[in-house]
A and B are shown apart, each in its own frame.
Chain A
Amino acid sequence: MAKAIEKKDKFHTDKSPTWCPGCGDFSIWMALKEALEKLQLEPEKVVIVYGIGCSGNMANYVRTYGFHGLHGRALPVGEAVKMINPGMTVIVVGGDGDGLGEGIGHFLHSVRGNHDLTYIIHDNQVYGLTTGQTAPTSAKGFVTKSTPFGVLEEPVNAAALALAAGGHFVARGFAGEQMHLVDTLVRAIQHPGFSLVDVLQPCVTFNDLNTYAWFFERIYKLEESEYAPNDRMQAMVKAMESATLPIGVMYEGESTPYHLGVEGLDISKPLAEQKLKPRNISTIVEHYL
């Protein structure tokens, strides 16, 4: 019991979530804190960068170093934090609208750069905070306030995109399977390089289609099958499944994180801790005489 209270304190703030009762965000939030506990990380060694939306509001509820940025722009902030201070664990939290709408370019570039961070997408197939418009992951035909005649586009498949862009860790979670999500997040955070965890999640207020029941009818855990997540093409097949929805780690491969390749970056001594003095520029000046 005493341990449970201590646990609660470590990553807990005194702010109460503003999410709707029953929202999948609660479970992602709990799972993230549990994963950080399991990894025995200290709040001072973790930076979480958030986008904008219901997912981004989590910024107020996790006690670590935090950066609540702009809609779709969280990834480049997180990438730089990792380069400047490679000793920190960097996690980026975004929504499907945030990260796969305005932020889809950053998403693909972050994957192909293999920046060492864990990207958690709250994927509820709808825009919640702006009261229920279509999201990039909404099903074709989905009727919302902004698409009264049904969505015409194909939904964005984050896992498939990450695989196509050369991602070395691609996973999917489900807010209704919190313990499974904890394990997935632990593996993702441990992975060196970019790791995607696309978390399927019901929006209990604005999405009447993708409900808990709808997900429970379709999801299955990859870890409970013979599936081995070491083949990119097989992972792509899993990512593209539509009648049923696999959750768990789809792919994990060899990976060298971006910051290890950066010329001039001394990872033994984070830039943030280096003492700054004016640099000697005389050898460069010589080229201009």
Chain B
Amino acid sequence: MEEITLKIGGIAGAGIKSTGEIFAKICLRSGWHVFDYTEYPSLIRGGHNTYHVRAATEPIWSTVQYIHILIALNEEAVRLHLEHVIEGGVVVYDPSVVDAEKLGRGRSDVRFCAVPFAELAISSGGIEKMGNMVSIGAVVGLLHGSLKITKSVIADIFATKGEQIVSQNEVAAEAGYEYVQEHFSEPFAWTLHELDAPEQMLVAGNEALGFGALAGGVQFYAGYPMTPSSSILHFMAKYGPKQGVVVKHASDEIGAVNMCIGAGFAGARAMTASSGGGFSLMVESLGLAGITETPIVITEVQRGGPATGLPTWTEQADLRFVAHASQGEFPRVLLAPASVEECFTHAALALNLAEIAQTPVLILSDKLLAESQKSTEPFTSKHVAIDRGKLMTTREANRQKDYHRYEITEDGISPRAVPGLPNTLFLANSDEHDTYGYSEENAENRTAMVDKRARKLEQIKDLLPKPIIIGPKQADYTFITWGSTMGPVLDAMRILEAEGHSVQMYRLPVILPFPSEEVTQFLETTTQTILVENNSEGQLGGLIREKTGYELDVHMLKYDGRPFFPEEIVQNFLAMIEEAH
């Protein structure tokens, strides 16, 4: 597998993200697989931001620490990241801003390419800000990449800003490209050659969730901004209305979730999203959806907690919280997508499950998954089917003589009417209620209602993705993961397999209802298990112990706000083996 990684570092507000995205798209359109990752502090301006693009000739699933090309927009970028530039790598910088060569003394294995970004931007007819395009052009030049593709990406990105801006940016990129051809002709070890590959899209997890929700027929989206969930709201606000979706920036998370419950009660597919803090505010209403049997989808995009925690960093420490949130007992589904592809399919699936089971469905994502872009086959609605469960039609309602909204049924799911239908008046009641919905506290009714609601989950079991095994069927070591940690583990497995280790991965795409039988059966036959989670308590490990009685052998945990890097997993694995001997 050929691979190129590029990191851009500089202060917030310097266009780090857009520059990184342009390079990622150039790689994408050159036919490469891409995974990118951004780090930024919780500041609008200032602070150190980075954007890491990883491109490869084979599918990749994660970000890495090592760097082939470092674009240093300030001296801090050299100080902080030079150690990760690998032998033969290059630092590209503007010598009027950064004295990289001086800072990089002692790294004779690294090339320092001084390119006057600002000067070239101005001399080519643009403005200083277009120095970023010069840097992109320079990098593409060093990699012998395509100037034509570079221009096509620039043209698309700046299309809304008019022809003049497009052409100035193109010329700036060309100036950078030519400058390195002239000044750094010595061949670079890596080239961004064009691959003959099927077309791909580049999408982040949050956007993939938006795509899945749209494909799956979402009709109402209400949300309140909270990092790292906000871009779902932005996506829905941008593309939803044209597709007939009502999108509301609510006054707060409590308003958002209650609006979704109102919309679900009224017969619309409704969805909201937040991060842990905002989800905390939604918790009481989660139970309201449970007892009123109102379909609703809530996505929780985790960041470091508790409280305000680490607003812009990643963590997987809300698993237990989301699994147990709300007082009382009611059925819920908890999905844990691990990739942008799964964000897409799980969002559409969640909307179906919520309506079929008439209960809340939760999707648990995290910052790494939500904000990292990955290349994938373009999404299509072709394989998406909409199943509204026992939702009544007007014709069915017309036949009703004595409608019981909460009829006790064998499968626990009652025929569902919505306001406006004839003959189906009912009360959706947060108090325990009888089959019509009227408040009822008697003991028999209470037991019957709790049991009825609990039976629902049995009905959807077959629709849920099963635990996934990747790698050889029998292996000496099994990594156990959920959510975004799948990516770095998969990439680590590639390295370990190449070195002759027998490894596999077992992943749970559905946390609740917990697949106790399958997990128990699997654990009965495995050898050494290694739990990999971005939290300090090994929350999935605890859940597995609770549901199966099995204690996983090794806990590989990380909770510093950064995702696992594959090379880190490899090191930990090797150290573990070393220790065992």
Question: Which residues of A approach B to under 8 Å, CB–CB?
Answer: 13, 15, 43-45, 47, 49, 52, 57, 59-60, 63-70, 73, 76-81, 83-85, 87-88, 105-106, 109, 262-266, 270-274, 276-282, 284-285, 288-289
Contacts and interface: CB of A to CB of B under 8 A. Distances in A.
B426 A65 contact: yes
B428 A280 contact: no
B269 A276 contact: yes
Contacts of B427: 59-60, 65-68
B477 interface: no
B528 to A, nearest CB: 40
A274 B239 CA distance: 19
A85 B379 CA distance: 31
Nearest to B242: A264
A77 B379 contact: no
A73 B263 contact: no
Contact of A105 (B252, B268, B288): B252
Nearest to B421: A44
Nearest to B237: A263
B246 A45 contact: no
A276 B217 contact: yes
Contacts of B247: 263-264
A77 B425 contact: no
A77 B262 contact: yes
A281 B219 contact: no
B468 interface: no
Nearest to B267: A272
Contacts of A288: 201-203, 207, 378
A66 B437 contact: yes
B38 interface: no
A79 B217 CA distance: 21
B438 A264 contact: no
B542 interface: no
23 contacts: A59-B429, A60-B438, A64-B425, A67-B262, A68-B431, A69-B288, A76-B254, A76-B258, A80-B266, A81-B266, A83-B220, A84-B246, A84-B268, A85-B420, A106-B255, A271-B219, A274-B244, A278-B384, A278-B386, A279-B381, A280-B381, A281-B379, A284-B214
Given A63-B425, A67-B427, A106-B255, A83 B263 contact: yes
Given A76-B259, A77-B259, A274 B219 contact: yes
A81 B386 contact: no
Given A81-B263, A84-B268, A271-B244, A285 B379 contact: yes
The A interface is mostly helix, strand or loop, or mixed, namely mixed
A278 B420 contact: no
A272 B386 contact: no
A265 B248 CA distance: 12
A13 B430 contact: no
A214 to B, nearest CB: 32
A286 to B, nearest CB: 9
B381 A271 contact: no
Interface residues of B, number: 74
Contacts of B418: 85, 272
Contacts of A43: 425
Given A63-B425, A270-B420, A13 B386 contact: no
A276 B260 CA distance: 18
B380 interface: yes
B448 to A, nearest CB: 19
A281 B265 contact: no
Contacts of B202: 288-289
Given A44-B425, A59-B439, A264-B243, A68 B263 contact: no
A44 B267 contact: no
Given A274-B219, A281-B211, A288-B202, A67 B263 contact: no
B386 A277 contact: yes
Contacts of A59: 427, 429, 439
Contacts of B207: 288
A272 B251 contact: no
Interface in B218-249: 219-220, 222, 239-248
Contacts of A73: 254, 258, 285, 288
A279 B437 contact: no
Contacts of A266: 244
B220 A281 contact: no
B385 interface: yes
Interface in B389-425: 418-425
A15 B203 CA distance: 55
Nearest to A61: B438
B385 A278 contact: yes
Given A270-B420, A281-B380, A70 B251 contact: no
A254 B216 CA distance: 39
B260 A80 contact: yes
A66 B431 CA distance: 13
Contacts of B240: 264
A23 to B, nearest CB: 17
A85 B217 contact: no
Given A60-B439, A262-B246, A281 B381 contact: yes
A84 B270 CA distance: 10
B502 to A, nearest CB: 38
B211 A77 contact: no
- Give the 6 A-B CB pairs with smallest separation, nearest first: A264-B241, A80-B262, A272-B267, A77-B262, A84-B266, A76-B258
Interface in B373-388: 378-381, 384-386, 388
Nearest to A84: B266
Given A80-B220, A105-B251, A274-B219, A69 B258 contact: yes
Given A77-B259, A263-B247, A284-B239, 20 more contacts: A44-B425, A60-B439, A68-B428, A68-B431, A69-B261, A69-B288, A69-B430, A80-B262, A80-B263, A80-B270, A84-B246, A84-B262, A88-B266, A264-B241, A271-B263, A276-B269, A278-B216, A279-B215, A281-B211, A281-B380
B199 interface: yes
B267 A276 contact: no
Contacts of B269: 276
B292 interface: yes
A284 B251 contact: no
A80 B252 contact: no
